[in-house]
Amino acid sequence: MNHWIPATDFIAADVVRWTEGIYDRRRRGKALRVGERLVAAEVIERGKDGWVKLLVRACTITKDEFAGKPILPLKAGEQVRRGEKTILRGKPERLLWADETARQAVVNGRSRGSRYIKKEDDEE
CA distances from 54 to 16, 30, 70 (A): 9, 27, 24
Question: Where are the chain's structural domains?
Answer: 4-108
Taking the model in full, what pTM does it have? 0.75
What residues pair up with 54 in beta bridges, in sequence order?
43, 80
Task: Name the more confident of 123 and 4.
Answer: 4
Mean pLDDT for 81-105 is: 86
Query: Is the model's pLDDT at 24 over the cut of 60?
Result: yes
Q: Give the model's pLDDT for residue 122.
A: 52
pLDDT tens digits along 6-16: 888 888 888 99
What residues pair up with 16 in beta bridges, in sequence order?
41, 94
